[in-house]
Amino acid sequence: MIALKQIDTYTSEAILKHADRVLATSRRVVSTDGKSLTVTYQGIDSRGRKVDLLAVYERR
């Protein structure tokens, strides 16, 4: 199951669950000027190890 939630005007969150266990959380934040998007991901890989990712996208 994926639960999507809008935190505020610029922030949204997605929570990935399986059998009532949270597998991953992803948060997307758009800058107030709309020129950048930051995506963070925290979860567990297929081997059970913790995964933390950060991606920043900028509009040209």
For residue 27, give the nearest of 35, 36, 18, 37 by alpha carbon. 37
pTM confidence score: 0.84
pLDDT at 35: 97
Token output for 21: 């266990």
Give the per-residue pLDDT at 46.
86
SS3 content of the chain, % helix, strand, coil (to 5): 0, 70, 30
The predicted structure's pLDDT at residue 14: 98
Residues in the chain predicted with pLDDT less than 50, given as ranges, are none
